Structure 1
Amino acid sequence: MESSKVNAFVRVSGPPNRNYLVGYPGISATLPRIEGKVEIRPGAGYSAPVGISYVAIGLYRKETIHPHADSIISNHLAAPRKEIRDLVGKEMRLFQCSAGKAYDSVLAMDLPFVLFIPFSKAGNEDIIKVPPASLQLPSRVAETYYELVVSVQQGSADLKKHSFPVPLSRYDTLSSFGMYNRPETQERVSDHLVTLSMCLQRWSFGPNDPVEVRVRLTPNPDWMSKAKKVSIQRIVVALEEQITYNPEGDEPTTKVNKLISKKEVVGQKLPPDGYQSDVTIRLPAKELRDSDGFLPPPKPAFPMHPIIGFTTTATLYKIDYFLSVKAHMSSCRDITLRQKIIVSPFDHQTCLDELPLIMQAAQDASSINAVGPMLPAPTIVRPGDPNALHWLGMTMVGNERKLLIH
């Protein structure tokens, strides 16, 4: 059979005993990248040569949104799902056949590659080029996933593309980073009588992490005669998820979901020296195990996180989280404060455990040249090479071709 007509079997493999995603996306010092090799073997028969003209690989991101997928709209045709597909970084050419030939006949090819994931350098605020994390919200109202696409040209045949999903996480929202462990304070005044203030000691949280907020109501000393008539009925603390579809488009749409709330009944007059309360709510988490206690196999394109959504900014959507505090009062208008927080896909203990690993990854990346990285030499086995059949697990016994295990 002519080698150009033999379909190639293509797969992507990572380094031995390692994932092919190396480094920490979102942390520039670790040079986040995908390392591995493209393996090409005969797709039919044991040793039929394959005609290869061209091989390239690239990382692609696909985003889809469908804001109404989670609601039933009767007698109304919902807007179609919107979708974009982009190349992340640059495509890498791995093989080009000899000049003047339509293709090269090969028995096996191992083509090493490294694809750097874009990252923002220190001081660069343009984070829009940093790829967002893989995410699939319930009912697929928003989705981001990545795939390695290997393009193989075999002679005059049509270019074939082989896709391999890649789950990608971001690590720049870890609650163990110092920038998220500074107190955040906000306050607002109602009717010039009462000031509501809230304080968070840290403002990045993961699944099952406690969210502790200090709430204080203080009367205005210049209006004490009126302020002492104010009664505090209750204080409500809530965690809200805000999803904005088409954030950069002409008609952005925003949906706010209240994830959890906690009500504290006070029922007392506002004391002259003010009222203070520490309220703790726990960030919701989803159960990964089934009813029998087993972990189901993960979806190939999405990391298995014990959380439904997290803070992220993509092209077609963005997800933000807010902690709202509302003080219900009599003889005074209610006051509401809304503080933006970061929700990470990792709980606080996991974030602490990742810190030394991130430091090690940054140290390992310091010796890598991001412009021209050193790669192992490609392995290309041609039909006339010595011991070529051994690459396919075969050998010649007399005039017969047999498997090596025989």
Structure 2
Amino acid sequence: MLLVRVFPEPNKELVQGYPGIKATCPRIQGSIEIRSSDGLPITVGEVNITLYRTDTVPNYSSTTGLRSFTKRDMTFMIGKPLTVFSGLLATAKSSNLLALSIPFVFPLPVELTLPQSLLIERKTYTLSTLYQLYVNVKPSPSGKEKKTLSIAHPVTIQTYDSMPIFGQFNTPLVRSTKDKNHLVTFECKLTRTAFGPGDAMPLSIDVIPNLAFPKSTKVKLAHVQITVSETITHTPLSEDSNVRRRDIGKQEFNPSCALTNSGYHKAISFSFPYSSYRNDHYEIHPKPKPGYPLLDINAFSTEAHLYKIEYSLHCKISYKTGIASSNTLSVELPITVSPHTYEYAQAILPIIQNEIFTLNKLPSLPPKTAAPTLYRTDNEHDLNRIGFSLYDGTKRRIAIV
């Protein structure tokens, strides 16, 4: 019987590079260890690896729109299967094998936008994206075993293309609206549009009266409300799509003031809401679930085949004109929520730049791997390296404890 395991390189993660940044050559790099569980020789004809992504969402009824207790999932192959140990090499060198170690590099496709590994567990539903690396071990034609052994190893993929420090998110965003009587103009401005958990959201609001109308001088600003909303669309490409919206943060205050000729101006520092996974007094990290990262945020802006997560900032004001009833104006600003904070992005950006500089010096990408290491039953040095030894010069193998 074979034991198959996947290991990263020493002191490194299994996923190397920075997915979402093409110049860092994102890849899965490690080694496949194939061992004999009973100490008998093994026969291996071919070993190949394939990466799959599985998106899971709750199933909704097409007629009522209500959630059922079933789940809907779809699995996609990422890239192409990669052969890391070929049959030609096996027929020449695989006799009397006790174990083998196969280094591999599986490049992640840069032409595709890969959604990050994600797990959302809430009271009413569960939503997830899981990556798994399948290792398929085909037996040698000359061996007794005829079945192909396949094992799945979860892979955690984090993307870095939405870090708040990037220039595409540093362009100010301005939205404005006017009331139906053209008395006031409500304007909101964000100096940047991407935020991580706990990041400050520099927002400024302006309420400007229209001095061409005398009634605009009688406007009294009563209430200001700022809300961060999360919208999750299940199966966005289908006619049976289901939209779930909820407010995840709110800030409000009462100016209770009359508008002057210059209007009302207010700068607000609103922190993006988050919940830390360190849930005890000593801030000990909990054990992550295989294939999912530990994040200080419940969700973030992302899009997969079965779901889409979007965020927006809603600003709403209430005002009165004389003795008339209260009127409202609202503005919506779309924002990008990143799993990485602005401070983390500042710290990791020099590391990414150094990674790109190092990769540019290599003659070819992705980096080449070493040849597989074979451990034979008739080589005492090979036996010692995998924890076995010859006893009294006989062929009997015992484990070294």
TM-score, scaled relative to structure 1:
0.87
Aligned 8 A contact 1:110 1:380 in 2: yes
CA gap of 1:118–1:368, structure 2 versus 1, over 3 A, is farther
Q: Give distance in 2, aligned partners of 1:30 and 1:371.
A: 10
Deviation at 1:340, TM superposition (A): 0.6
Provide the rounded CA distance (Å) in 2 between the counterparts of 1:99 and 1:260.
59
1:60: Cα distance to partner? 1.3
Asked whether the 8 Å contact 1:49–1:107 carries over to 2, the reply is yes
1:341 has 2:330 as partner = no
User: What is the number of equivalent residue pairs in this alignment?
Assistant: 384
Query: Quick one: structure 1 residues 403 and 367, their matched pair in 2 at CA, closer, same or farther if it must change by over 3 Å?
Result: farther
2:103 corresponds to which residue? Answer: 112
- CA shift, 1:392, in A, is 2.9
Correspondences of 1:115-194 after superposition (within 5 Å)? 115-120=106-111, 129-139=112-122, 141-155=126-140, 156-191=145-180, 192-194=182-184
Runs of 4+ aligned structure 1 residues displaced above 6 Å come to 369-372
Please point out which of 259, 274, 283 is paired with 2:263: 274
Q: List runs of 5+ in structure 2 lacking aligned partners.
A: none
Q: What letter matches 1:94 in structure 2?
A: V
* Deviation per residue, 1:315-334 (Å, 9 max, x gap): 11111110110111223741
Distance, in Å, in 2 between the alignment partners of 1:281 and 1:185 is 17
SS of equivalent residue, structure 1 residue 51: coil
Deviations 1:244-279 (A, max 9, x none): 111122222211110111112022222221111112
- 1:253 matched to 2:242? The reply is yes
Q: Name stretches of at least 5 consecutive residues in structure 1 with no aligned partner.
A: 1-6, 121-128
- Which whole-Å deviations, capped at 9, do the CAs of 1:39-79 have from their partners, x for residues lacking one? 101022xx3111222211122111100167xxxx9xx8716
Give, in whole Å, the separation in 2 of the partners of 1:314 and 1:238.
Answer: 25
- Distance in 1 between the 2:67 and 2:192 partners? 44
State the SS of the aligned residue for 1:358.
helix
Query: What SS does the corresponding residue of 2:298 show, helix, strand or coil?
Result: coil
Using a 3 Å threshold, how does the CA distance of structure 1 residues 301 and 369 change in structure 2: closer, same or farther? farther
Q: Are the equivalent residues in 2 in contact too, given 1:175–1:204 (CA < 8 A)? A: yes
Residues 61-100 of structure 1 correspond to what in structure 2 (within 5 A)?
A: 61-66=53-58, 78=68, 80-98=70-88
Bigger Cα displacement from structure 2, 22-31 vs 362-371: 362-371
Partner of 2:306: 316
Match of 1:4 in 2: none
Choose which of 385, 389, 401 in structure 1 pairs with 2:383. 389
**Residue 18 (1) aligns with residue 12 (2):** yes
**One-letter code aligned to 1:132:** P
Report the counterpart of residue 218 of structure 2 in structure 1: 229
- TM-score, L = length of structure 2: 0.88
**8 Å Cα contact 2:98-2:375 kept in structure 1:** yes
Task: Work out the CA distance in 2 between the residues paired with 1:88 and 1:286.
Answer: 32
CA distance in 2, matches of 1:396, 1:320: 62
Aligned-pair identity in percent equals: 28
- Deviation, structure 1 residue 213: 0.7
